[in-house]
Structure 1
Amino acid sequence: MKTAALKTVDRRDGKLAMAHFYVAFIALALGGLAGLLQTLVRSGKFELPAGIGYYQILTVHGVVLGLVLTTFFIMGFQLAAVSKTSGTLTNRQRLIGWIGFWLMTAGTLMAAAMILLNKASVLYTFYAPLQAHALFYIGLTLVIVGSWLDGAAIIMAYARWRKANPGKPSPLLTFMSLVNTILWIVATIGVASTVLIQLLPWSLGLVDRVDVLVSRTLFWYFGHPLVYFWLLPAYMAWYVVIPKVIGGKIFSDSLARMSFILFLLFSIPVGFHHQLTEPGIDPAWKFLQVILTFLVIIPSLMTAFSLFATFESYGRSKGATGLFGWVKVLPWEDARFTVPFIGMLSFIPAGAGGIINASHQLNQVVHNTIWITGHFHLTLATAVILTFFGITYWLVPHLTGRTLTKALNKLAIIQAVFWAVGMTFMSGAMHAAGLLGAPRRSSYSEYGGAAQAAEWIPYQVAQAIGGSILFLGIILMLYIFINLAFFAPKGEEEFPVGETSEKAEKTPMVFENWKLWLGITVLLILFAYTIPFIDMIENAPIGSKGYKLW
């Protein structure tokens, strides 16, 4: 089916995408409540009722928002994007997508039940030697397998389009969805390995111990590309949707594709920069992965250049002059633009903080302090989530046959302001407290009012204020989502897909050469991890039953 002939996403595909969004926004409600309770506990002015544990709600917050909300939203968005730009999914592709959705949902319910029963208070990272109930690990495995099936539907849709259009570059949104899907599948091999080979047998009592270093290394093999799995859908909206929303053109199709390929190449073999303080890994390999981490800055800067070139080109076409004259002509009254734009701006300090986190020496200052949590909330919880909200404002009514009314549009901008203000308080206080040595993950009560802990109290109160404002923003977001899904007036809402500028260079077909890009990705991973893994396994401690703990 020709892309130009598609005006709206097929209703059957829309139902599949919306099913993912329903779970995502339920996760937003539960995870947001847990986050509010966390900040109140850390302020030292509030105690959890009914015997609920601090680390229990900390696990709920991290797992439900960091893994469940993001994975469901991203898969729903990418399925809709592929259906829009490459043609309606086939019955087989849609069936695979539905099987993936139900597996993910079943896995989420299993993992959530264990957390709520306080049998899996192992935090978002679920590091050994913290141990959860076996059903928690089985649930996580089902979420990953289900997401692979969603990804399979996306890959099949891409392959079908390529077969029907030989010699042509694939639609940009489909290409981007494919890259992010491949990144996710390759990255989740690490976490699936540690869960199935180490943590699940250990939880079932089949082995008495696990190799903690190997487990953490496999987690961070997954954990850092996970950040880009979150980020790339936001980049999809920034590159392709925002130009259409403002009435401009995509600055360069080729530059957008190149930035996504670079993220695929450089985001996976960099997990050691999360383990810079850990023994057992040769410093030379840590330093190598720090260098690879810094290479990811390149596609981020490419993205910033492309976006602001798009904005300036549009402004000049409207007669704007001067260095920043184009700012005045952007559609600030349109939530579809303004909300993601706030997310874009937040990514500037977030990126600067990421450079500090990945630096060989500066990391020593902030490692395992609440600075890291503050950075996390600028990247995922602001840049990414605000962009996801911006996508919601046009995609949900597009899929449900409704419209974004003026009242809901205005409320969406108010919601984004709440979010920005709340995150400024909370993330800013986290960064400041982190520089004073306040630890990550811990509550004030654990320090018994020690002098050092007392120094952190003003910042923890600021976090509670920010968290409360953010929770109001979550309530507003849920209200908008429910209206767009069920109660807004019937009508047609545009699925904005930008066109490339006439001045842009022709897109080369080398970007569709997956043997090349996947081959380089595998080589980089093998280069960065093979020798360190051999070293870890050869030098693993001997278990009580006489075997190496791997």
Structure 2
Amino acid sequence: MELAKKNIDEQSLGQLTIQKTESKLYMSYITVAFVALLIGGLMGLLQVFVRSGRFTLPFGIDYYQVLTVHGVILGLVLTTYFIIGFHFSLMGKTVGISTKQRKLAWLAFWIMVIGTVLTATAILLGQASVLYTFYAPLQAHPAFYIGLAMVIIGSWIAGFVNWRQLYVWKKAHPREKSPLLAFMVTINTLLWFIATLGVAAAVLIQFIPWSLGYAETINVLVSRTLFWYFGHPLVYFWLLPAYMAWYAIIPKIIGGKLFSDSLARMSFVLFLFFSIPVGFHHQLTEPGIDPTWKFIQVALTFMVVIPSLMTAFSMFATFEITGRRKGFKGLFGWFKHLPWKDVRFLAPFIGMLAFIPGGAGGIINASHQMNAVVHNTIWVTGHFHLTVATTVMLTFFGISYWLIPHLRGRTLTPKLNRLGIIQAIIWTVGMTIMSGAMHIEGLLGAPRRSSYSEYGGGEQVSEWIGYQLAQAIGGTILFIGIILMVYIFIKLTFFAPKGDEEFPIAEEEPDAEQTPAFFENWKLWIGITVALILFAYTIPFVDIIQNSPPGSVPFDWPIGR
């Protein structure tokens, strides 16, 4: 009962003191994420240069090797490490962490690091240029798949620690509702665990035996279905930590309070329900999947619009209520007086705005007829950069401005705050140019996952080349933003003045309605989630196994979505 006895007064307020031993753990995960940002950003810069038609990679480096590094290290390594570090910091602040739990968290970290090194080595040696989706029948060195499996296993251990943290807290506080941020972390970790069961099954049962030579063939459609069972909820695993900051941290930064604890919890539960059983909307052009089940999963995909709109309503209600309480009048007086000069607010707010066109693009991608227009084009790449690389990353940067100095016992100085605002603007400009060019070029039919800068002939080629040059310009601006962000990270970690930076967690309204107790019924939420998954996947998956030959290849290979 070590945790139950720790800092009782602080626990009653939901605000524990993060000790130095904990800070070192959390910072280790976050540091790996920023190293990944620098390496992955460089790979992205090389890609847009090559696609511009004006640059050739030196030393015999293969374009698809660079593309694989970019996707794996940014889409998987950066996000997973930052999110786990952020999760641990939220749990440590709200429910605490015991010595045994901290040791297990370190075990998770080192397993993930070893796995990351194995995977990176295979890619850098040119033995795993299979992109971050690693579609069969492209085959990588076994170390690539073994490394991925280790990263997943390490993340599971970290998730079990998070669940144990909440369980111990609940045992010590049997009649209290769990802290909101701890509840959110539990939901996101649960989503990650259920989703990664698919990719873990593909890697352990299909890819590793196949790459080692124990199996001569691989069922391509099964492997792709298992990947996209994981691949779509992966997007929400990236997104929900940003939502945690929007719901429970941004209100504190702007001097307000949490709009609705119940609404925040309900939105996260709905994301858990509707983010997993929808992978077929990434496989709409593939044969071998019954169109009826594609339609059902597309319908389930659109259900995530509900918690997204709930979040938008909650956030802007918080902004307006806070402004009115401060005395700002007029129709948009509250908006004018938001803390635009505070990078902790500005960066996440830009991310919120970017999610509006990003969400609209997601609706297009998931719509059967409209998806046929953009499928396999660079439009999809532009969409990912608008959502994950803008909405999620800018929110992660906003979190870093207060989390890193808090963990390091330093302060966010006015100079670093101004530098952060410049970085957010640079990032926004660069991403707008690059992602916008990708969207337009995709509508013109330019393929994704290709190093070729010229297709077709005549006016089409000239038009594509113009947008590819725009991508190179936008990518260059983005890389400047990456360098600046890494510089800020180093300053906040090692050189900023010593001090106490606030860990901002919003409080509830004093007269807020009591949160219903059923939100703590984890058996109910897990049961509904499993039921939805079984409903959406059991029959079509059995049909795939029974009717697709082991070595079959979908017709849109090799650049299928």
TM-score, scaled to structure 2: 0.95
3-state SS in 1 of match to 2:368: coil
* 1:16 and 2:25 matched: yes
Structure 1 residue 275: deviation in Å?
Answer: 0.3
| Letter paired with 1:222 | F
Q: Which moved more, 1:2-11 or 1:306-315?
A: 2-11
- 8 Å contact from structure 1 (residues 3, 85) kept in 2: no
- 8 Å contact from structure 2 (residues 52, 453) kept in 1: no
Per the alignment, residue 337 of structure 2 pairs with 329
* 1:48 and 2:91 matched: no
Per the alignment, residue 31 of structure 1 pairs with 40
CA distance in 1, matches of 2:364, 2:512: 35
Structure 1 residue 500: deviation in Å?
Answer: 1.4
1:466 to 471, 474, 499: 474
Structure 1 residue 323: deviation in Å?
Answer: 2.5
| Letter paired with 2:260 | S
Residue deviations 1:6-34, cap 9 Å, x none? Answer: 45312211111100011101100000000
| Letter paired with 1:283 | P
Residue deviations 1:449-502, cap 9 Å, x none? Answer: 776443311110000000000000000000000011111111000000001123
CA distance in 2, matches of 1:5, 1:514: 21
| Letter paired with 1:433 | E
- Identify if the C-alpha distance between structure 1 residues 449 and 116 changes in structure 2 by more than 3 Å, giving closer, same or farther: farther
CA distance in 2, matches of 1:120, 1:211: 19
Per the alignment, residue 5 of structure 2 pairs with none
- Identify if the C-alpha distance between structure 1 residues 128 and 166 changes in structure 2 by more than 3 Å, giving closer, same or farther: same
* 1:377 and 2:385 matched: yes
Structure 1 residue 120: deviation in Å?
Answer: 0.3
* 1:121 and 2:129 matched: yes
* 1:263 and 2:263 matched: no
* 1:181 and 2:173 matched: no
2:291 to 273, 283, 287: 283
* 1:441 and 2:423 matched: no
- Identify if the C-alpha distance between structure 1 residues 7 and 168 changes in structure 2 by more than 3 Å, giving closer, same or farther: closer
2:84 to 52, 72, 75: 75
1:362 to 359, 363, 370: 370
Superposed, which structure 2 residues align to 1:144-183 within 5 Å?
144-183=152-191
3-state SS in 2 of match to 1:444: coil
CA distance in 2, matches of 1:8, 1:409: 24
* 1:65 and 2:71 matched: no
Structure 1 residue 447: deviation in Å?
Answer: 4.2
1:423 to 402, 407, 431: 431
Per the alignment, residue 227 of structure 2 pairs with 219
Structure 1 residue 126: deviation in Å?
Answer: 0.5
Per the alignment, residue 546 of structure 2 pairs with 538
3-state SS in 1 of match to 2:148: helix
Per the alignment, residue 559 of structure 2 pairs with none
| Letter paired with 2:469 | V
2:241 to 217, 233, 248: 233
* 1:492 and 2:494 matched: no
- Aligned-residue CA RMSD (Å): 1.3
CA distance in 2, matches of 1:528, 1:512: 26
| Seq. identity, % | 69
| Letter paired with 2:281 | H
CA distance in 2, matches of 1:97, 1:196: 23
- 8 Å contact from structure 2 (residues 453, 465) kept in 1: no
Structure 1 residue 339: deviation in Å?
Answer: 0.8
Structure 1 residue 445: deviation in Å?
Answer: 4.6
| Letter paired with 1:74 | I
| Letter paired with 1:307 | M
Per the alignment, residue 547 of structure 1 pairs with none
1:91 to 99, 112, 116: 99
1:407 to 409, 415, 421: 415
3-state SS in 2 of match to 1:129: coil
| Letter paired with 1:190 | G
1:388 to 396, 417, 427: 396
CA distance in 1, matches of 2:18, 2:310: 30
| Letter paired with 2:382 | G
- 8 Å contact from structure 1 (residues 262, 299) kept in 2: yes
CA distance in 1, matches of 2:462, 2:539: 45
Residue deviations 1:70-119, cap 9 Å, x none? Answer: 000000000000000112x1111101100000010110011011111110
Structure 1 residue 523: deviation in Å?
Answer: 0.4
TM-score, scaled to structure 1: 0.97
CA distance in 1, matches of 2:91, 2:250: 17
Structure 1 residue 417: deviation in Å?
Answer: 0.1
Unaligned 5+ residue runs, structure 1? 545-550
CA distance in 2, matches of 1:503, 1:460: 55
3-state SS in 2 of match to 1:8: coil
| Letter paired with 1:400 | R
Q: Which moved more, 1:317-326 or 1:447-456?
A: 447-456
Per the alignment, residue 320 of structure 1 pairs with 328
Structure 1 residue 329: deviation in Å?
Answer: 1.5
- Identify if the C-alpha distance between structure 1 residues 202 and 504 changes in structure 2 by more than 3 Å, giving closer, same or farther: same
| Letter paired with 1:130 | L
- 8 Å contact from structure 1 (residues 10, 83) kept in 2: no
Structure 1 residue 3: deviation in Å?
Answer: 4.5
3-state SS in 2 of match to 1:231: helix
3-state SS in 1 of match to 2:132: coil
Q: Which moved more, 1:360-369 or 1:260-269?
A: 360-369
Q: Which moved more, 1:445-454 or 1:30-39?
A: 445-454
CA distance in 2, matches of 1:7, 1:144: 29
Per the alignment, residue 548 of structure 1 pairs with none
Per the alignment, residue 341 of structure 1 pairs with 349
Structure 1 residue 542: deviation in Å?
Answer: 5.6
3-state SS in 1 of match to 2:176: coil
- 8 Å contact from structure 2 (residues 16, 94) kept in 1: no
- 8 Å contact from structure 1 (residues 82, 173) kept in 2: yes
* 1:4 and 2:13 matched: yes
Structure 1 residue 509: deviation in Å?
Answer: 1.1
Per the alignment, residue 478 of structure 1 pairs with 486
